[in-house]
Structure formats: C-alpha cells, structure tokens
Amino acid sequence: PAPAPAPTPLPAGTPAASNTMPRCKYGLACRIITAEEEMSTKLPKEQQHWYKFQHPCYWVCKEGHPELGPPGTKCPLHMRFGMHGVLDRGSPCPESMASLIMPCTNMDPDHRRCFRHPEDDVEVVEVVDESVDDLDLAVIKDEPTWSAPDVGEVGEDAAMEAKGEAAEAASNGDWAAAITAYSKALAGVPSALTFAKRAEALLKLGFVSAALADCKAALEKNPDSAKPYKVAAKALTKKGEWAAAYEKVCVGMKIDWDEDAAELQKVLKAKCDKMKKIEELQAKRAAAEAPADATAE
C-alpha cells in the first residue's frame, strides 16, 4: 500500500498545543525532553515521554552563554517565561536573552501538539484603571492647623465629668465641643482610649496630623489598644498614605475585629493592589520609552 501522506504543516503562528494532555512539571529542566535523551527512539512515539507529556518549546544555545548556561542549554521562546519555560518557576530570563531568541519553525502537527509555543498562551494584558477614585478625592491637601486648648489644671472628678460631656457632644455631632471636653479629660486623667477618641473627633474636623499625634500618644499609653490603630488608619487614608493605613488597620483588626474596620481593610487592600499595578505599568512604560529616547538623542 502507498504510504500515508505527510501531515500538512499548520500556518505559522497558529495556536495548536493540546490543552488536554498532561504537562511535564519540570518544563525545560526535564532531562528526557527528547527521544534521544530518553533513549527511546526505537519505541513507538506513543510511548515516548515527549509525546505523552507536554513541554514548552525551546531553542538551543549551541555556543553557550555566561548568563544562559553551557553549550546546548535549552532556552524558552519568550522572555515572560522563566528559564524552565514555566511561568513563576525557575530563574527569570536575563535581559540579554531577548536578542538571542531563535523562533521555532517546526510546523509538524505532532510537534505543535506536544510543545507549547508563545502563541498557545496569549499574554493577558490587564487593563488598569488609573483614573482618580473616591479615596483620591477624599485626601485632605490643605490641612488646617490645630493646637490643644488651655484647660488649666483638672482634677480627677472634673476629668470624669468632662469625659461624659465629650461623649454626649460626640453623639450629637458637635465635634468641636467634644474635642474641648476630651482635652479637659486628658489634662486630668490621660488614657489611651481618651486620646483615641479625641483623635477621632479631630479627624472629623480635618485635623489629620493632630489626630495621628493623638493616636501615637494613645499607643504609647497602651500598645495593645485597637482603637488608635483603626483611627490612625483612617487618618493616613486622608493623607493618601494607603500602604501605611492598611498596615495600621490590619494591626487593629488583629487585636479587635469590627465590621467598619473590616470594610476599611478591604477598601485599602484593593487600593494598595491598584497602586502596585499602576506603579508596575508606569515602570514598563518608562522602560519602553527609554530606548526610544536614547535613539532620539
């Protein structure tokens, strides 16, 4: 009988790797990635490791390279893969490899099925929203100054009475009166909780730095108090210091969980993640523009 016709090669750039066959966990670090290495050339291909387990496709650095390895080193076809050809595994590809990569020209269907190529795993470019959000708009830029009122000498009984007055004023939303009463209470009986409550009232009127100072004083009195951490997180949010705010609220939540702080923690985590992505995106843009600027010069 006449031999079967040779398989028709796929057009260049066509994704063809099988998404159902098992992948070799070693990637390019596999020692039997070819039939010759496995010494299985006389076996049917169905029994050969390369055909049973999928590997990343590669090019061979025949002469060797100080950053890539000795002669014969297998290297991935794309810089986004590590040297093992598997995302997030093995050492990253050195920048010098970018100009050395030799693209694969083997269009045999068996090869395309069993070896993954860059076009088989399209790089997903995440769209990052860089627009101003509600947290950005809430940042206080022109912060008013505040000085503690002179309340003179305050006895313990007067301090306790002032704490009651402060609590009542705060419940009525009269933050200025609450601040004055808390200041009187602190002059008589300074405590971590009272400092934290005055900080909360100060923050309501936009005195962010003064609120942070009271939170610091509260933690000096009692480092195990949760409220100063939570109020400090809100104050730092008003300053636009998202990472520091997130750190504070996390500490406060470890000491004492509450629903409002949990919501703030969630919002700040999302903001920190967003800012990290924006920074990475800006760094990529700067790196891409640098060669163009150098060429222009």
CA atoms within 13 A on the CB side of 50: 24
Q: Where are the domains of the chain?
A: 27-120, 137-275
| 290 or 106, higher pLDDT | 106
- What is the bridge-based pairing of β-strands 115-116 and 55-56? parallel
Report whether 270 contacts 237 (CB < 8 A): no
The reported pTM is 0.63
Q: Identify the architecture of domain 137-275 in CATH.
A: Alpha Horseshoe (1.25)
Q: How confident is the model at residue 4 (pLDDT cuts 50, 70, 90)?
A: low
- Asked whether residue 270 carries a pLDDT value surpassing 90, the answer given is yes
Report whether 198 contacts 224 (CB < 8 A): no
- Asked whether residue 172 carries a pLDDT value surpassing 80, the answer given is yes
Task: Calculate Rg over the CA atoms of the chain.
Answer: 32
Q: How many residues does the chain have?
A: 297
Q: What percent of the chain has pLDDT over 70?
A: 92
For 204, residues 6+ apart whose C-beta sits below 8 A from its C-beta are: 175
Please give the backbone phi and psi of residue 76, each rounded to the nearest 5 degrees, phi first: -70, 165
Helix (H) or strand (E) holding 52: helix 49-52
pLDDT tens-place string over residues 27-73: 999 999 999 999 999 999 999 999 999 999 999 999 999 999 999 99
